[in-house]
Amino acid sequence: MEMPENIFEKIDGGGELSIGETAFLLGMQEKSGMEILFRKAYAVKLKNVGNKVYLRGLIELSNICEKNCYYCGIRKSNTLNKRYMMTEEEILKAAIWAYENKYGSIVLQSGERTDETFINFIENIIKNIKKASGGKLGITLCLGEQTEETYRKWFEAGAHRYLLRIETSNRELYGKLHPADHSFDKRLKCLELIKKTGYQIGTGVMTGLPFQTFENLAEDILFFKKMDIDMIGMGPYIPHKDTPLGVRALHENFDKKYALELGLKMIAVTRIVLKDVNIAATTALQALNDKGREMGLMAGANVIMPNITDTKYRAAYQLYQDKPCLDENASLCRECIKKRIEETGESIGYDEWGDSPHFRSRRNDKN
Ligand code: SAH
Ligand code: SF4
């Protein structure tokens, strides 16, 4: 495709990109074009959110899941997985470690469960983490689709952010990636409920999915904008051999370099369009390249989620293959991440929640 006229000048002037122009940027393959794009996105990031990187300690508390997403390594039907659930004590210990190491906030993530026992377990954990940190440690939840009542219960217990990726904003593509009983409308509805409850809201998509077009991704960015999203967590789709979609993608020769570049371009264009949101450089980038997350920071991301899950559980929580740092404990990870971020020239926002300016202005609008 030919370069639309003056596309980079349009970015500099803050002009609105069309779907065609956005798709063009995402599809660019020339190194020189990508480098310009990343530089422009980095400038937009500096201007709108600064060069501070916020850390969210990621606790993968259980790989038990009721769902069967075709892409995910911990899907219910993957019988090869040994299932685990961390104890309350273990989760609390990890959270306190994050607090003492000045991470500012944590993310509780797991497979999806909607039973009473689980709901109460999480409510209790949130309360205890809040108590143990004198209310200071921020808590983000990434626990899938729940009822309005459950979202409210967890919010009232003290969680203040919720991440639920839409995975793709294209209904048809969503249908190809999930069994028939996984509803796109329900996921959409959940995002609305999360927002209504009062959480800072995060969503995102996987990039490089089978069947996905650059136009689909351009529409995803528009979707983030329309939904008035505060935080974005996106990452490259990485095949897992024990999943229906993974078998297919691996057969078609999954290209790591291509997947990484597409993931980075998506971060960059999202930063250029949304400007003042928080964007995570996710671990999936690091799975494709040792420096993937640092590259994400240079392409416009400003959040990193270091894994603080006990190493004994990590191998069993593989959403995709070749997950990095399976044997690196939280302390090693802390040093490693500090060094990596410092090498990029960015600074670390220790002991800060690091809310996005977008959330702050959304809240002020309401008052
Ligand atoms: N069960 C919750 C949270 C855990 S899954 C939920 O689904 O919302 C967290 C994210 O992992 C998903 O949103 C999905 O985008 C991502 N994921 C799953 N399988 C993946 C794969 N093979 N490659 C990359 N990301 C994947
Ligand atoms: Fe379960 Fe989330 Fe994986 Fe889907 S993506 S199978 S809901 S853990």
Q: In the prediction, which pLDDT does 366 show? A: 60
81 confidence band (pLDDT: 50, 70, 90): confident
Counting other chains too, the contacts that 243-252 makes at CB distance below 8 Å and 24 or more residues apart are 243/70, 243/71, 243/72, 243/73, 243/75, 243/78, 244/70, 245/70, 245/71, 245/177, 245/209, 245/210, 246/71, 246/73, 246/320, 246/321, 248/210, 249/210, 252/210
pLDDT in tens, 270-324: 999 999 999 999 999 999 999 999 999 999 999 999 999 999 999 899 999 888 8
CA of residue 134 to ligand 1 center, whole Å: 31
Which is the closest atom of ligand 1 to the Cα of 111? 1
Atom of ligand 2 nearest to the CA of 76: 6
Quote the pLDDT of residue 31. 96
SS3 call for 186: helix
Instruction: For residue 166, report the distance from its CA to the centre of ligand 1, in Å.
Output: 10
CA atoms within 13 A on the CB side of 164: 22
Please say if the pLDDT value at position 166 is more than 70.
Answer: yes
Residue 174: the pLDDT is 98
Give 317 Cα–ligand 1 centroid separation in angstroms.
11
Atom 18 (ligand 1) nearest CA? 72
Q: Which residue, by CA, sits nearest to atom 6 of ligand 2? A: 75
- How many angstroms is it from 113 CA to the middle of ligand 2? 10
Distance 164 CA to ligand 2 centre (A): 11
Token pair for 271: 């930063």
Mean pLDDT of 144-155: 98
| C-alpha–C-alpha distance, residues 253 and 305, integer Å | 29
Residue 136 CA to ligand 1 center (angstroms) comes to: 28
> In ligand 1, which atom is closest to the CA atom of 65?
1
Give per-residue pLDDT as tens, 188-221: 999 999 999 999 999 999 999 999 999 999 999 9
Q: Given this model, what pLDDT does residue 103 score?
A: 95
- Condensed to tens digits (0 to 9), the pLDDT of residues 83-139 reads 999 999 999 999 999 999 999 999 999 999 999 999 999 999 999 999 999 999 999
* Predicted TM-score of the model (pTM): 0.96
Nearest atom of ligand 2 to the alpha carbon of 110? 8
Render 64-106 in DSSP notation, one character per residue.
--S---TT-TT-TT-TTSPP-B--HHHHHHHHHHHHHTT--EE
Q: What is the pLDDT of residue 1?
A: 62
Which numbered atom of ligand 1 lies nearest the CA of 238?
23
240 lines ligand 1 (CB under 6 A): yes
pLDDT digits (tens, 9 = 90+) for 217-265: 999 999 999 999 999 999 999 999 999 999 877 777 899 999 999 999 9
CA of 178 to the centre of ligand 2 (A): 10
* CB distance 27 to 208 below 8 Å: no
Nearest CA to ligand 2 atom 2: 111
Residue 71 beta carbon below 6 angstroms from any ligand 1 atom: yes
**Cβ pair 320, 73 in contact under 8 A:** yes
The answer to whether residue 363 scores a pLDDT higher than 80 is no
Encoded tokens for 348: 């670390």
Q: Per-residue pLDDT averaged across 31-42, rounded? A: 97
The helix (run of H) or strand (run of E) holding residue 161 is strand 161-163
Closest ligand 2 atom to the C-alpha of 178? Answer: 4
- What contacts 300, CB < 8 A, 6 or more positions away? 38, 41, 42, 44, 45, 267, 268, 270, 271, 272, 279
Assess whether the C-beta atom of 238 lies below 6 angstroms from ligand 1.
yes
Q: Return the structure tokens found at 196.
A: 């209504």
